[in-house]
Structure 1
Amino acid sequence: MKKIVNFCPTGTQTNKENSFAPIFANEIIEEVLACYEIGITMVHLHARDELGLNTYKRDTFQVIIDGIKKYLPDLVICVSLSGRYFNEISLRTEVLSLEPDLGSLTMSSLNFARQASINEPDVILALIDKMNEFGVHPEIECFDSGMLNYTNFLIKKGILKDPVYINVIFGNVFNAQTDLATVSSILQNIPENAKTCFGGIGKDQLKANILGLVEADGIRIGLEDNLYFRNKEKASNEQLLKRIHTIMQEMDYSCMSSLEFKNLGYGNKKAYHFG
């Protein structure tokens, strides 16, 4: 059985002191190329400027995307439209003119340990409109059942359209955990026909990934969400991917290719001809 492997090499919180995550464009490109050889379906990208600070800038994202596509022209590209540092729609959506395949869409405001990610209802709707303008699919991010409820609401209203792709991210202290009762509730509320991947923050990543293999369509994995291999031993992205691929092999699962994922309808609607 084929499973989606959504690779998140670096996030907003990674740095040279706390992790082995790639920070600068050339590092991210090299990491994606190396991890593609292990097996990934898609990549979820964050960008940093020349000082290593989080940036929304189109030009910075373009360097990363062009560098990846030079060697992996068919890899599914998702860009972060995070509201952690930049709230203005014009800033968060600047990258969409590059016509990536997907753009992240968190379905509510939420707290993290030291910071909030602000996603007001009008902002969520504006992000969807802007993605539609450039043929980009939402990469829906849900941290609990309330966010899934809003996802289902927007599907019923015809605002979110098929094909729907969702990441459910477990382990944030303010949101859903990986206990069986919570996971069961999440599964009961997944929209019909949506492709869904499970990810986890910190120590919950591995458990969430295994649940994603067994109960969902795949996994979200990488140093964006989890910096450690076991205990406080820092991980590399390659270590995390090799471990989950060993587990997948034992369970008779294989990695869905980017082209297979695109042929399900998840390539950029303007840039990719389906079939």
Structure 2
Amino acid sequence: MNRDVILTCAVTGAGDTADKHPDLPITPQQIADSAIEAARAGASIVHLHVRDPETGGISHSTEHFREVVLRIRDADVDAVINLTAGGGGDWTPHPDDPTRGGEGTDMQTPAERHAPIGELLPDICTLDCGSLNFGDMIYLNTADWLREHARLVKEAGVKPELECFDLGHVWFARQLIEEGLIEGDPLFQLCLGIPWGAEADTETMLAMRNKLPANAQWSAFGIGRSQMPMVAQSILLGGNVRVGLEDNLYLSKGVFATNAQLVEKAATIAENLGGRVLTPAETRKKLDLRQP
């Protein structure tokens, strides 16, 4: 069991959820404010996407990321900042010509995905470790793209969070480590419950955990109704946890959540199991991050 728990709050994500929650953070100010509230509620890390302020849809704008990051850094509360670098990988084949992307396709090169990271230098950024049937679309992330992206992150001096949506992703992450593209003790995020990747259950989490390097720090999350059960399961198996509106919109059945409420609920689970949530300063020390 892990008694010193790192708690990540994934504030908004990039999924099609803007019209499914009345108060989903959309604008840079809303995203920053919600992240600050989550930090005040006890989150160790805030994981950040940005959205188009007009439509609520996907955005990769460095300007939007900059506004969010600066607002958090200027706040009167500390938080470890984790920026997504996994955008721009959505591929939906065109119904009349599968060699072309259809509606919903959104592709970026590794350099384009990395642009906000290289400029803003967050504490952590995500590195999604493979391709996946992601619902009805494909998330594309080839091996050579990943090598290029890992090299960019390494050169920037940012800690990569190795996001693994299936067991093969863990395998390839270990390959990146073997090739020297990941330095220090690796940080893994086990992403469970997303159709059609790894299932959100004990057997799957345990199988993925057992394939991690011995020196790995790791966390896990489940989406939707599996969010809080996976919080408890991860702690019991020795891992850290992630909650937030990116992964789950509800506090209980039919009751919309805020990020702060989800953080408080996860922290209560950790405490009831005999653990505690680490502060951002303790998290930086545990993960060997740059000090602010």
TM-score, with structure 1 as normaliser: 0.91
Separation in 2, partners of 1:220, 1:3: 10
Contact 2:188–2:216 (CA<8 Å) still a contact in 1?
yes
2:79 paired with 1:58: no
What is aligned with 2:199?
Answer: 177
Q: How does 1:43-54 map to 2 (within 5 A)?
A: 43-51=46-54, 52-54=56-58
Of 29, 37, 57, the residue aligned with 1:26 is 29
Separation in 1, partners of 2:16, 2:123: 24
What is aligned with 2:15?
Answer: 13
Identical-pair percentage: 26
Query: How many Å apart are 1:155 and its aligned residue?
Result: 1.7
Separation in 2, partners of 1:29, 1:145: 33
**Equivalent AA in structure 2 for residue 137 of structure 1:** K
2:35 paired with 1:35: no
1:71 aligned counterpart, secondary structure: coil
Of 174, 192, 197, the residue aligned with 1:152 is 174
CA RMSD, Structure 1 to Structure 2 (Å) = 1.8
Q: How does 1:93-172 map to 2 (within 5 A)?
A: 93-96=114-117, 97-172=119-194
2:90 paired with 1:88: no
**Equivalent AA in structure 2 for residue 18 of structure 1:** K
Q: Which runs of 5+ in 2 are unaligned?
A: 91-105
Separation in 2, partners of 1:219, 1:120: 27
**Equivalent AA in structure 2 for residue 23 of structure 1:** I
Query: How many Å apart are 1:28 and its aligned residue?
Result: 1.1
Contact 2:39–2:78 (CA<8 Å) still a contact in 1?
no
What is aligned with 1:211?
Answer: 233
Of 183, 198, 202, the residue aligned with 2:220 is 198
What is aligned with 1:267?
Answer: 289
Q: How does 1:221-236 map to 2 (within 5 A)?
A: 221-236=243-258
What is aligned with 1:70?
Answer: 74
Number of aligned pairs? Answer: 270
**Equivalent AA in structure 1 for residue 57 of structure 2:** L
CA gap 1:242/1:73 in 2 versus in 1, 3 angstroms: closer
Separation in 2, partners of 1:202, 1:265: 28
Q: Which runs of 5+ in 1 are unaligned?
A: none
Residue-by-residue CA offset, 1:95-145 (whole Å, 9 max, x unaligned): 012111111111101122233221111111111111122111111101121
CA gap 1:232/1:115 in 2 versus in 1, 3 angstroms: farther
1:183 aligned counterpart, secondary structure: helix
CA gap 1:179/1:49 in 2 versus in 1, 3 angstroms: closer
**Equivalent AA in structure 1 for residue 50 of structure 2:** A
CA gap 1:146/1:6 in 2 versus in 1, 3 angstroms: same
**Equivalent AA in structure 1 for residue 243 of structure 2:** I
2:23 paired with 1:2: no
TM-score, with structure 2 as normaliser: 0.86
Contact 2:161–2:188 (CA<8 Å) still a contact in 1?
yes
Contact 2:51–2:59 (CA<8 Å) still a contact in 1?
yes
